[in-house]
Amino acid sequence: MTKQIIHIRSKDTDQLSPGLNTHFNVNLKQPIKCGLDNKVLVSVISAELPYSFYCISPSIQNDKFYYDNTHFTFPRQNYNVTELIRVLDLNTPFTCSFNEFTCKLSFTNGDSVPHIINISLSNSSQLLGIQRDGISYTILAGDTFTPKGILDLASVHSILIRSDLASGNIQSSLAGNSTVLQKIPVNVNPYEIVYLGQSDSITESVISTHIIDSINFRITDQNNNLLDMNSVNYEFTLQIELSQNDESNAILPVEFDTKNELIEAELTPAKNDNDDVNVLKEHHSNEESLLDILLED
């Protein structure tokens, strides 16, 4: 078995999506040749990814709120509950409040005319907890609407490192064979580092290819949206293992005849137990002969 280690730095790569550094090609100066009789395993064995992306951003498609015949776009940034309510109150006809025990927002219409929240058009519906309340919801003058869902400011649950290397053993619940090399949970606060190390669960992808000279990578959220790292660089390490598919080492099945007697012998003849007995007898006989000679003398 041979291993190739590739250290990847985002600032050294060829970026493919303008304004983002999470879609790029890595062109290897020394291609990795994979023979037809090799099994190829690819895995991400370490990563250092800054939590520099925002919880509301056009890149993860959750920044639009539609009401009546217009819409409001959230500024791309991180939010807590207080800031979210301030921005909604300032830019919509509703007055919002938050129940810390149910973790739900409420929208109150303080106008003298009804207002409509266009749920199906708002890509911020899940964020605000209103994605399960139909296509639209009309709030009459003076009424309050509390969605069924809770406020969800943890927009990015996990970071997925994807590649164009065809995997034969990784599948997703949506698209069959998956392009995901590694899923990394986001378990730190914003502006900290998300780490992947040897103590974490490392995924090994079995790929079928004859040569690896260029790899296309995408760093996404759980919904396959490219993350906007806000120009902050990051690193991860790829390991490629080549192992020999040697069928000569396979264990052949043992066959028996109807009398439970072995009919397929081992490749090397078995040692006859009688051989040991004969050797002992011969040795014992020689000792007795020598003893007789000594006694005669």
Annotate 210-233 with three-state secondary structure. CEEEEEEEEEECCCCCECCCCCCC
The pTM for the full model equals 0.76
Q: What is the pLDDT of residue 246?
A: 56
Q: What is the pLDDT of residue 170?
A: 53
Domain range summary for the chain, segments of one domain joined by +: 2-53+156-247, 58-145
The DSSP element (H or E) to which 183 belongs, if any, is strand 180-185
Tokens 């000679």, located at residue = 293
CATH code matching the domain that covers 2-53+156-247, chosen among 3.20.20.140, 2.30.40.10, 3.40.30.10, 2.60.120.1100: 2.60.120.1100
- The Cα 49–Cα 283 span in angstroms is 75
pLDDT at 177: 53
Low-confidence ranges of the chain (pLDDT < 70): 166-178, 245-297
Residue 67's alpha-carbon distances to 85, 117, 136, in angstroms, are 16, 4, 9
pLDDT of residue 245: 66
**What does the pLDDT read at residue 259?**
42
> Which pair of structure tokens corresponds to residue 141?
């003058």
User: Which residues, 6+ apart, have CB-to-CB distance to 24 below 8 Å?
Assistant: 10, 13, 14, 15, 16, 216, 217
How far is residue 234's CA from residue 220's CA, in Å, rounded to a whole number? 14
| Backbone conformation region of residue 258, classed left if phi is above 0, alpha if psi is from -120 to 50, else beta | alpha
pLDDT at 205: 87
Residue 175's pLDDT is: 52
